[in-house]
Amino acid sequence: MRSHTLDDYLSLQRGIEIKLEYFKGDICVIASGSAGHNRISRNVLKLFDAALAGSSCEAFGSDMRVSTPSGLYTYPDATIVCGPKVSNAAETVTNPIVIVEVLSDSTRNYDRGEKFELYRSIPTLRHYLLIEQNFHHVEQRHLEADGSWSTESPEENVHLSEVGIDLRVAEIYEGVETN
């Protein structure tokens, strides 16, 4: 298999509608989400937008690419950036404070493991949310003051302290049929 340069990836991504992920010369297609996946993503963005109104922070959906110092270029389901949007390429941010991934059977292990390890290299990242789409479960990873990451799974409210947002789990799943 041919190894691609970052310029190859950026050029290819500019010319097509599907989303591609890039890491260490490999380019992979990001699968589109189910109806439930899209509803959850939309609900999270709607809640973020309402909570961030009038602040210096802005929420972005899955059309905003994120790059990491570790070399990953990908499209999380939602991000929050506070202050100026720092970018190293068109439509790419390097300074998210919150990243959200809606899990599917095909991405769950990657999103919870290797992808999180790559995201952890982002100096501004403070919260990583993993949201199941087939049942009500939100896993929140939060960067502690000592540099360690804590993990919790709140049943009612998700508190994002760095951006002053409380998300009700029920609102995240509004209109979504789960098991």
- Report the CATH number at residue 52: 3.90.1570.10
Q: Is residue 83 part of a domain?
A: yes
Asked if 43 contacts 174 with a C-beta cutoff of 8 angstroms, the reply is: yes
Residue 160 lies in domain: 34-172
Q: Is residue 109 part of a domain?
A: yes
Region at 94 (left for phi over 0; alpha for psi -120 to 50; beta for the rest):
alpha
* 14-65 pLDDT per residue, tens: 878 888 889 988 988 887 778 899 999 999 999 999 999 999 999 999 999 9
Q: Is residue 5 part of a domain?
A: no
The number of domains in the chain is: 1
Asked if 135 contacts 163 with a C-beta cutoff of 8 angstroms, the reply is: no
Q: Is residue 19 part of a domain?
A: no
* 93-130 pLDDT per residue, tens: 999 999 999 999 888 999 999 999 999 999 999 999 99
pLDDT band with cut points at 50, 70 and 90 for residue 135: very high
Q: Is residue 149 part of a domain?
A: yes
Candidate from 11-20, 83-92, 117-126, 161-170 with smallest mean pLDDT = 83-92
CA dist., res. 27 & res. 75, Å (int): 13
* pLDDT in the model for residue 1: 57
Judged against a pLDDT cut of 70, whether residue 176 lies above it is answered with yes
Q: Is residue 177 part of a domain?
A: no
Judged against a pLDDT cut of 80, whether residue 8 lies above it is answered with yes
Does this model's pTM top 0.85?
yes
Q: Is residue 81 part of a domain?
A: yes
